[in-house]
Amino acid sequence: MSAESQGSGSDERECSAVAIGILPDGTRFCVPETMSVMSSLLRKRSWRSPATILWIFLWISTALTYWLFFAGFLPKWFFCLQFVIWRLMYNVGLGVILYRQSNQGGFLSFFRRIVKQNPALIRGLESSIVFESEDTVYKIEQFPDEFNAWMLFRIIVNIILANDLVSYIVLSIVYCEPVDLASPRDIFSFLIGLCSIVFALWSKTDAHRVIGDYAWYWGDFFFLLDKDLVFDGIFQMFPHPMYTVGYAFMYGVPLMAKSYTLFYLSIFGHLSQLLFLALVENPHIDRTYNVMRSRTNDDILRDDILYDEEEGFLHRNELILLRRFSPFRAKDFLLAILILYSLLLIIIPTPWWLHASQHIFWRLFLNAILGLVLHREVCHNKWFSNHYKTLQEAFSNWRTLYNTGVTMTNISYILCAIRYFSWDMFFFDTVESRIFIMVVGILLLGINVYVSLGIYEAIGDFGYFYGDFFIDSVPSKLTYNGIYRYLNNPDSSLGMSGYYGVALISGSPTVLFLALFSHTCTKAFELLVEKPYVLRRYGKEVRSLSGLEQEIKRKMNKVKEEYERRVQELKQKLDKQKQSYEKLREIVMTRRRKRDKDD
Cα distance between the two ends of the chain: 87
Residue 111: give the domain boundaries.
32-288
Q: What is the pLDDT of the chain when averaged over all its residues?
A: 87
**Residue 470: exposed, middle, or buried by beta-carbon count in 10 A (0-12, 13-18, 19+)?**
buried
Compute the average pLDDT of residues 526-532.
Answer: 93
Q: CA–CA distance from 103 to each of 147, 274, 328, 446 (Å)?
A: 17, 20, 41, 29
8 Å CB contact between 165 and 127: no
- Tell me: do 47 and 27 sit in the same domain: no
Q: Is the pLDDT of residue 9 over 50?
A: no
pTM: 0.85
Residue 550 lies in a domain: no
Specify whether the CB–CB gap between 225 and 194 falls below 8 A.
no
259 or 596: which carries more pLDDT confidence? 259
Pairwise CA distance, residues 239 & 237, whole Å: 7
Q: Domain end: 237, 269, 288, which one?
A: 288
pLDDT of 445 over the 90 cut = yes
Question: Is pLDDT at 310 greater than 80 in this prediction?
Answer: no
| 223 and 328 housed in the same domain | no
| Band (291; pLDDT cuts 50, 70, 90) | low
Asked if the model's pLDDT at residue 543 lies above 90, the reply is no
CA 87, CA 163: separation in Å to the nearest integer?
Answer: 9
**Max alpha carbon distance in the chain (Å)?**
120
Residues 193 and 74 placed together within one structural domain of the fold: yes
Shared domain for 284 and 382, answered yes or no, is no
Residue 351 placed within a domain: yes
- Is the same domain home to 200 and 186? yes
Report the SS3 class of residue 34.
strand
Does one domain contain both 379 and 401? yes
Of residues 203 and 135, more confidence is placed in 203
pLDDT at 295 over 70: no
**Residue 577 included in any domain:** no
Residue pLDDT, tens place only, 257-268: 999 999 999 999
- The DSSP output letter for 371 is H
Give the pLDDT confidence of 471-528 residue by residue, as tens digits: 888 877 777 888 888 888 899 999 999 999 999 999 999 999 999 999 999 999 999 9
DSSP letter for 223, please: -
Of 504, 522, 544, the residue that ends a domain is 544
How many Å apart are CA 106 and CA 538, to the nearest integer? 49
Domain count of the fold of the chain = 3
**Confidence band, pLDDT 50/70/90 cuts, at residue 397:** very high
Q: Which residues of 279-312 are buried (b: 16+ CB within 10 A; e: fewer)?
A: ebbeebeeeeeeeeeeeeeeeeebeebbeeeeee
Asked if 224 contacts 288 with a C-beta cutoff of 8 angstroms, the reply is yes
- Domain identity same for 20 and 138: no
Decide if pLDDT at 5 tops 50.
Answer: no
Same domain, 176 and 189: yes
Same-domain status, 116 and 232: yes
SS3 label, residue 473? coil
Is the model more confident about 385 or about 15?
385
- Residue 313 within a domain: no
Which residue in 357, 359, 379 sits closest to 367, CA to CA? 359
The answer to whether residue 82 scores a pLDDT higher than 90 is yes
Residue 347 falls within a domain, yes or no? yes
Task: Say yes or no: 393 and 491 in one domain.
Answer: yes
List the beta bridge partners of residue 22: 28, 224
The angle that helices 353-364 and 330-347 make with each other, rounded to 10 degrees, is: 150
Do residues 72 and 216 both lie within one domain? yes
147: Cα within 13 Å, side-chain hemisphere = 26
**Tally of helices (H runs) and strands (E runs) in the chain:** 22, 3
| 15 band by pLDDT with thresholds 50, 70 and 90 | low
Q: pLDDT class for 4, splitting at 50, 70, 90?
A: very low
pLDDT at 59 > cutoff 90: no
Instruction: Please say which residue of 270, 288, 306 terminates a domain.
Output: 288
User: Residue 95: inside a domain, yes or no?
Assistant: yes
Whether residue 555 lies inside any domain: the answer is no
What burial letters (b/e) apply to 126-151, b meaning 16+ CB within 10 Å? eebbbbeeeebebebebbbbbbbbbb
Provide the 8-state DSSP code for 130: -
Co-location of 202 and 337 in the same domain? no
Between the alpha carbon of residue 81 and those of residues 94, 137, 273, 361, 484, the distances in Å are 19, 40, 17, 50, 40
Strand partners, 30: 20
**Secondary element (H or E) of residue 564:** helix 547-598
With respect to residue 568, please indicate whether it lies within any of the assigned structural domains: no
